[in-house]
């Protein structure tokens, strides 16, 4: 009785001589790459636009806040304008 | 010091990174034969192999910036191909019925003495290894189909050498049981060698 693994090794040697199939996938690969690049670019553009809009809103709000904090008379004028039409 | 990367590959890789589609197509055409042969060990279905080969080259493209040129380009492509193939097996193995079917098929396998052509031998060996868990199957596929040493297997899979040796030992022990069930080793005078 021979070692089963030795017999398997002989089978593997025969298997390695198998003529293997081939093909040409270059066209399909390029198409898939273009598709994936398109699908990642659009969400990024949306995200970037959203970020710009948010940043602009925060900037304007911050400017108003800073102005109110740094101008000590601003609250007085606000109160005066509420009393005196 | 000579670079291990061929000049044509270097030229096409640089051009592909600069957005030259034709350069990348040349790289694909140059190495798709090797990758087809490699992915044929992960599936015997032609359509599946086609898909896997495409997946390999798409992944190669998006990883191209990480290629350091310390080894020939094909070695790096083969590592990615092995990873793609291994993940394919892991996805399939989640369906336990697939593995049970492979074991069942193996129990009814014809005697090895009836295997004559290289194609039959390839199919038989593939079905035998299909009955193993993916990690063990991976190690033995590289060992038997690509004749890699345990050290080379470790390098290809990015596993430690000791881990590969442990998995190889377990895989061969499990395989021995499967082989004995299939009648290997019983008739040593069958003239199959």
pLDDT tens digits along A38-85:
887 666 667 777 777 777 778 877 887 877 777 766 666 666 666 665
In sign, the C-alpha dihedral spanning B13, B19, B20, B21 is positive
Would you call B174 helix, strand, or coil by DSSP? helix
Q: Is A43 left (phi over 0), alpha (psi -120 to 50) or beta?
A: alpha
Classify residue B92 by burial, with Cβ atoms within 10 Å: 0-12, 13-18, 19+: middle
Query: Can you give the pLDDT at residue B97?
Result: 63
pLDDT tens digits along A12-26:
999 999 988 889 999
Place of tokens 């003239």: B191
Q: Binning pLDDT at 50, 70 and 90, where does residue A2 land?
A: confident
For A14, name the nearest residue in chain B, comparing CA atoms only: B118
From B98, B100, B82, B91, select the one nearest B156 (Cα to Cα): B82
Query: Can you give the pLDDT at residue A50?
Result: 73
Distances (CA, A) of B130 to A28, B91, B134: 29, 13, 8
Structure tokens at A71: 């101008």
pTM, to two decimals? 0.77
What is the rounded CA–CA span in Å between residue B143 and residue B129? 11
Query: Can you give the pLDDT at residue A60?
Result: 78
The Cβ of residue B126 has, within 10 Å, a number of other Cβ atoms equal to: 20
Query: Can you give the pLDDT at residue B86?
Result: 95
Interface contact flag, B186 A25, Cβ < 8 Å:
no
A1 touches chain B (CB under 8 A): yes
Query: Can you give the pLDDT at residue A69?
Result: 76
Would you call B16 helix, strand, or coil by DSSP? helix
- For chain B, 193 residues long, the average pLDDT of each consecutive 10-residue run is 86 96 97 96 95 98 95 96 95 71 59 81 91 93 94 94 96 87 60 41
Residue A34 has pLDDT above 90, yes or no: yes
What is the rounded CA–CA span in Å between residue B53 and residue B38? 9
Q: Is-contact B61 B24, C-beta < 8 A?
A: yes
Interface contact flag, A4 B176, Cβ < 8 Å:
yes
Place of tokens 């990615």: B80
Query: Can you give the pLDDT at residue A39?
Result: 83
Which residue out of B41, B84, B144 would a mutagenesis test of the A interface target, given it has the greatest number of A Cβ atoms within 10 Å? B144
Q: Is-contact B21 A30, C-beta < 8 A?
A: yes
ipTM of the complex: 0.82
B14-25 b/e (C-beta count within 10 Å ≥ 16 → b): ebbeeeeeebbb
Structure tokens at B191: 């003239």
Query: Can you give the pLDDT at residue B190?
Result: 42
Q: How far A73 CA lies from chain B's nearest CA (Å)?
A: 59
From B31, B94, B104, select the one nearest B64 (Cα to Cα): B31
């Amino acid at each position: 009785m021979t070692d089963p693994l030795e017999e398997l090794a002989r089978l593997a040697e025969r298997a390695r001589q198998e003529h293997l199939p081939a093909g040409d996938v270059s066209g399909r690969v390029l198409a898939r790459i273009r598709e994936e690049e398109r699908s990642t670019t659009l969400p990024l553009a949306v995200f970037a636009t959203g970020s710009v809009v948010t940043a602009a809103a925060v900037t304007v709000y911050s400017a108003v806040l800073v102005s109110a904090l740094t101008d000590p008379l601003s609250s007085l004028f606000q109160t005066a304008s509420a009393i005196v039409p | 010091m000579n670079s291990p990367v061929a000049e044509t590959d270097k030229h096409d890789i640089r051009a592909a990174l600069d957005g030259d589609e034709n350069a990348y197509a040349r790289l694909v055409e140059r190495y798709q034969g090797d990758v087809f042969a490699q992915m044929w060990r992960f599936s015997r279905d032609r359509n599946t192999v086609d898909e896997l080969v495409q997946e390999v080259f798409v992944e190669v493209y998006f990883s191209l910036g990480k290629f350091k040129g310390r080894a020939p380009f094909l070695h790096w492509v083969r590592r990615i191909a092995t990873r793609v193939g291994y993940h394919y097996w892991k996805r399939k193995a989640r369906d336990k019925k697939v593995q049970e079917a492979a074991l069942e098929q193996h129990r009814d396998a014809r005697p090895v003495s009836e295997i004559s052509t290289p194609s039959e031998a390839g199919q038989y060996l593939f079905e035998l290894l299909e009955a193993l868990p993916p990690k063990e199957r991976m190690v033995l596929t590289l060992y038997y189909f690509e004749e890699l040493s345990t050290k080379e297997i470790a390098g290809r899979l990015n596993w430690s050498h000791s881990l590969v040796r442990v998995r190889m030992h377990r895989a061969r022990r499990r395989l021995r049981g499967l082989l004995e069930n299939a009648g290997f080793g019983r008739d040593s005078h069958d003239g199959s060698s």
